[in-house]
Amino acid sequence: MAEFDNCRAKHGRARGFLDAWNPQAKTLALVAHVQAVLAEYREHLPLTARQIFYRLVAAHGFDKTNRDYKRLCEMLVSGRRAGVIPWDAIRDDGFTRASSDTYSDAGDFMKACRYTAEKHFRLDRQDGQRERLVVWCETSGMVPQLERVADRYGVPVFSSGGFDSVSVKHTIAREFAGYDVPVRVLHIGDHDPSGIHLFMSLAEDIGAFCKRYGGRVEFDRLAVLPGHIPQFGLVTAPPKPSDRRRFEGQTVQAESLPPDVLADLLRQGVESHFNMQVYLDVLDDEAAQRAALLEQFDDLDTDDE
DNA sequence: CGTCGTTGTCTGCGTGGCGT
DNA sequence: ACGCCACGCAGACAACGACG
């Protein structure tokens, strides 16, 4: 069995923790800026590297260039290895895990069931609404913070990270067609040529598939809208001259929306399509059923004694 | 001269646009 | 009408250049 320790790979790249990191002055300044961003957004941690980058551009006078972004990514790696940037502050969702839950014994399993009933018992919180809402996000890195808002309404958040393959669109369309009310997709993506085309292609494909299966779906562009640029003072860039697709005006990445603004936009978007009284009634019903469920668990406990 | 920073490259899939 | 190419996206690695 090989023994692993902090070390350097063949060509000098750090492995494990970096005990002796002596960043140069320029990098040290970058570290300070990143720490300021993390402090500013401590309510919304963890952030993706890209979200940090856009905040640096928007509020710290950084250039929005690919090389500056790469420099940030390299620093974030070294900085975390060296303990200067907290591990829990940066998120990367490109990882999946498959495993089964295990229990120490049957009693432990019952405890877990009670905990699940208490914390996770949910009714369909969209039950009784005239439409079924879904959030669709171009960037998978934004999903956790969108979910934080959407979950309380029972609204799912979808993302396939950049592009949407035809098999994904077909699967989802068939799922949409299974609902007895029309589906409304609230979409969040970049305001640039490929972002607009991704959105159009998504809406047209899912719309066509869904129609064939007897369902109905509407697509709303929630963000980024051209009007958001002046409204929130977003960082823009000219469209890449190499991209010949027709596009007017400046481009904006979805990550340049500050996390708190994004949360507000989503909350308003959901509530504008929600009958709030129906929603509150479901919440009441849910709480009552949960309480009844927990009583059953407590009765089981007393029987044991 | 060792350590640190920069840059090109890779991954997979869909897109527009060009050439055949 | 088709194939092919460049490009976009995010993040990390390897090679090489620069700093101290």
The domain segmentation of chain A, as residue ranges, is 20-89, 124-282
pLDDT of residue A134: 93
pLDDT of residue A109: 93
Q: What amino acid is encoded at A182 in this protein?
A: P
Helix (H) or strand (E) holding A231: helix A228-232
pLDDT of residue A141: 72
> Could you list the protein residues whose CB lies below 7 A from any atom in strand C?
A 9-13, 24-25, 48-50, 70, 73-74, 76-77, 92, 94, 139, 141, 162-163, 190, 192, 194, 240, 242-243, 253, 255
Tens-digit pLDDT profile for residues A22-72: 888 888 888 888 898 888 888 888 888 888 888 887 778 777 777 788 888
Q: Is the CB of A177 under 7 A from strand B?
A: no
Low-confidence ranges of chain A (pLDDT < 70): 1-13, 92-98, 160-167, 238-248, 301-305
Find the nucleotide nearest A193 (Cα to C1′). Answer: C8
Q: Is pTM, for the whole model, over 0.75? A: yes
For strand B, the positions having any atom within 7 A of a protein Cβ are: 3-9, 12-18
Say how far apart CA A55 and CA A38 lie, in whole Å. Answer: 10
Say how far apart CA A267 and CA A264 lie, in whole Å. Answer: 5
pLDDT of residue A205: 79
What does each C-alpha distance from A279 to A122, A182, A275 come to in angstroms?
13, 17, 6
Query: Distance in angstroms, CA of A59 to C1' of B6?
Result: 24
Tens-digit pLDDT profile for residues A235-247: 777 666 555 555 6
Matching CATH number, A124-282, of 3.30.70.100, 3.40.50.720, 3.30.230.10, 3.40.1360.10: 3.40.1360.10
Query: Distance in angstroms, CA of A47 to C1' of B16?
Result: 33
DSSP bridge pairs for A251? A237
Query: Distance in angstroms, CA of A164 to C1' of B13?
Result: 8
